[in-house]
């Protein structure tokens, strides 16, 4: 037999930790016990927990929950429809039980009122008969006992009824000719009971839980009203004592709610600030996953702070929560929409990268080393421009592309490695030519020097490649040797270009015509300048890309030399543009 989980009356379980079926079982068991006090204390927490757990399970199962509605995934059924209907049926049963119970209580209070009115009339009847004490006192005691055994009456009638009852009792004690000992004994008994109530009220003054103290005080007041009178000499003092304790507790109760009200104002201000921050974040536009992660962390931090802030006033608490919730929902809806679209973009990027892989795999077999190298560089440039793909596919497609690149450059390295011996011979020939340049003695005949320079340059160009690691050094040594004997002639080429530009500038300044020629020349130089800048940038990027590939050292050295040559030419073009800008 399955064991039922129950909770003692007045003790709330943590229902939010239970499953939907466990909550339904608990609810059903309570309804079967029909303990209205237990139901009254637990049903609303059960309801709140049920819908909280239901919402979590809907989200987990793909049945998304929006504000105030359920969005069902197309082509699926709602698996929670039956359990939600079962809970609603139980809740309707509870409401029916509660309505019946309330009705019975109301009728019972009316019946109590009717009987208490009859008791007052009975006491008045005893006063009118004024019979022998042996008959009157037992009848009076019986009426008193019956009064105390009856429960509460309708609240709107309680005060007047109690007043009439106490007035009738005082009449009974003051006007009926009863024995003084009985009267004093009754007064003493009432005095003792009221003194105990005073002591209990005074003890409540030190109670830390002011709400509990205030509620307990109300019960003491109800008991006070049910007690009969005390001796006239003590009536004022005992009431004053009870009233003083009551005043202290009432003041603490009032202060508590004033402080609570002030705290609720502060809580509302703090929550309003969080709403404004959340709304600001929800209004931001994120362009990639990194930005979305940053914004998500901010929203989650705000949600964590929200949980540390207490309630606002009853009037404002739900409103401010709805506002915060709306901002958070707006953010997460936008994030979900972004990733839905981003998924399509990443699929398209994957197709593009797979196409680049296919091109690289086809190109890797080429032996046209220069052309294929340029094509590989272009593929790598395009690869960098393609956006991201899903993480689980990114590594695989990258390895595929890199494998094709590495295979090509490995073959290229092996090919040129076989030519290394010829490169060493070329290196020796170029070293010998450098020594020949160094040994040259300049002539006074500039035409002879020019012919010698051209001859040296022609010999150098006829000699083939040298090892890549020696290229930069040997080129610098050759240029330094030429500068020793032919610097004037070599500078004249640059000067000639600058001279041609200077002549063009002077012609325009002297004649006032042909400025369009100057503008055309500047535009041509500027286009060449930008082209060189772009080429340098591409080469530098590709050098970083090749650094990730194996066997790419030679290619990187080639790129470095090319970058240096482009930078020198860039400097010369910049000087020419500045010359034009200085004059015009």
- Domain spans of the chain, in order of start: 179-312, 330-418, 419-497, 514-584
**Residue at token pair 């208490």:** 116
Is residue 185 a contact partner of residue 230, using CB atoms and an 8 Å limit?
A: no
CA 180 to chain centre: 80
Please list the pLDDT of the chain residue by residue as tens digits (584 residues): 333 444 444 444 668 788 888 889 998 998 999 888 888 889 889 889 899 888 988 888 776 544 444 455 454 567 788 888 989 999 998 899 889 888 888 898 889 999 989 998 888 888 777 556 667 778 888 888 888 888 888 988 888 888 888 888 888 776 555 556 667 788 888 899 999 999 999 998 888 888 899 999 899 898 888 888 888 888 899 899 989 999 999 998 899 888 888 888 889 899 899 899 998 988 888 777 788 889 899 989 989 999 998 888 888 888 889 988 999 998 888 888 877 777 788 888 889 888 989 998 888 888 888 888 888 888 888 888 887 887 788 888 888 888 888 888 888 777 766 555 567 788 888 888 888 877 777 766 777 777 877 887 788 888 877 777 777 788 888 888 777 766 655 555 555 555 555 656 666 556 655 566 667 777 777 787 788 777 777 777 666 666 555 555 666 666 777 777 777 777 877 777 777 766 66
Angle at 190 between CA 217 and CA 168, to 5 degrees: 95
Distances, alpha carbon 559 to alpha carbons 283, 369, 374, 550, in Å: 46, 15, 11, 16
Q: Which of 325, 333, 256 is nearest to 292 (CA)?
A: 333
Token pair of 508, please? 């325009």
> What does the alpha-carbon distance between residue 303 and residue 327 come to, in Å, rounded to a whole number?
11
Per DSSP bridges, beta strands 69-71 and 64-66 are antiparallel
CA 465/CA 480 separation, integer angstroms: 19
- Partners of 64 in beta bridges: 71
Cα gap 281→275, rounded to integer Å: 10
372 vs 405: CA distance, rounded Å: 11
Strand, helix or coil for residue 71? strand
Pick the closest to residue 206 from 245, 164, 172 (CA basis). 245
Q: Which two tokens stand for residue 130?
A: 């004024």
Q: Cβ distance 301 to 274 under 8 Å? A: no
206/320 Cα distance (integer angstroms): 36
Query: Can you tell me the distance from the alpha carbon of 38 to that of 31, in angstroms, rounded to the nearest whole number?
Result: 10
* Helices 314-363 + 391-418 axis angle, to 10: 30
d(CA 7, CA 41): 11
**Rounded distance, CA 506 to CA 512, Å?**
10
């Amino acid at each position: 037999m399955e064991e039922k989980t129950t909770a003692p009356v007045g003790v709330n379980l943590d229902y939010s930790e239970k499953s939907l079926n466990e909550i339904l079982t608990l609810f059903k068991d309570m309804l079967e016990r029909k303990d209205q006090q237990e139901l009254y204390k637990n049903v609303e927490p059960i309801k709140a927990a049920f819908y909280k757990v239901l919402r979590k399970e809907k989200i987990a199962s793909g049945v998304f929950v929006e504000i105030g509605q359920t969005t069902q995934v197309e082509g699926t059924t709602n698996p929670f429809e039956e359990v939600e209907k079962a809970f609603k049926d139980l809740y309707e049963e509870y409401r029916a039980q509660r309505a019946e119970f309330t009705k019975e209580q109301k009728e019972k209070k009316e019946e109590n009122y009717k009987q208490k009115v009859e008791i007052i009339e009975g006491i008045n009847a005893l006063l009118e008969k004024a019979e022998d004490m042996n008959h009157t006192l037992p009848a009076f005691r019986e009426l008193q006992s019956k009064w105390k055994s009856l429960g509460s009456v309708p609240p709107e009638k309680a005060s007047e009824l109690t007043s009439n009852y106490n007035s009738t009792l005082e009449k009974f004690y003051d006007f009926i000719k009863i024995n003084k000992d009985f009267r004093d004994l009754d007064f003493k008994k009432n005095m003792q009971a009221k003194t105990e109530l005073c002591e209990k009220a005074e003890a409540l003054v030190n109670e830390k839980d002011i709400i509990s103290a205030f509620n307990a005080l109300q019960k003491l007041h109800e008991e006070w009203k049910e007690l009969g009178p005390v001796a006239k000499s003590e009536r004022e003092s005992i009431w004053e004592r009870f009233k003083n304790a009551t005043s202290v507790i009432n003041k603490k109760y009032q202060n508590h709610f004033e402080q609570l009200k002030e705290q609720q104002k502060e809580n509302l201000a703090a929550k309003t600030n969080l709403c404004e921050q959340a709304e600001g974040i929800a209004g931001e536009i994120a362009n990639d996953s990194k930005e979305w992660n940053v914004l998500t962390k901010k929203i989650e931090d705000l949600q964590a702070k929200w949980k540390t802030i207490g309630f606002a006033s009853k009037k404002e608490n739900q409103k401010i929560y709805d506002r915060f919730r709306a901002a958070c929902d707006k953010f997460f809806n936008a994030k979900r929409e972004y990733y839905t679209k981003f998924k399509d973009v990443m699929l398209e990027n994957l197709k593009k990268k797979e196409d680049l892989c296919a091109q690289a795999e086809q190109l890797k077999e080429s032996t046209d080393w220069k052309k294929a190298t340029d094509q590989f560089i272009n593929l790598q440039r395009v690869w960098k421009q393609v956006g991201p793909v899903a993480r689980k596919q990114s590594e695989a497609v990258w390895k595929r592309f890199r494998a094709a690149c590495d295979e090509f450059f490995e073959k290229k390295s092996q090919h040129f490695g076989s030519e290394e011996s010829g490169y060493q011979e070329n290196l020796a020939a170029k070293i010998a030519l450098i020594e020949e340049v160094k040994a040259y003695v300049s002539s006074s005949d500039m035409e002879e020097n020019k012919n010698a320079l051209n001859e040296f340059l022609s010999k150098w160009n006829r000699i083939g490649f040298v090892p890549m690691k020696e290229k930069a050094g040997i080129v610098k040594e050759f240029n330094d040797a030429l500068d020793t004997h032919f610097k004037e002639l070599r500078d004249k080429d640059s000067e000639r270009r600058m001279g041609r530009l200077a002549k063009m500038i002077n012609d325009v300044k002297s004649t006032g015509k042909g400025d369009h020629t100057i503008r055309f020349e500047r535009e041509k130089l500027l286009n060449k300048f930008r082209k060189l800048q772009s080429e340098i940038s591409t080469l530098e990027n590709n050098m970083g890309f090749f650094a990730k590939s194996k066997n790419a050292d030679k290619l990187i050295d080639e790129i470095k030399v090319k970058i240096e040559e482009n930078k020198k030419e860039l400097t010369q073009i910049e000087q020419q543009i500045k010359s034009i800008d200085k004059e015009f």
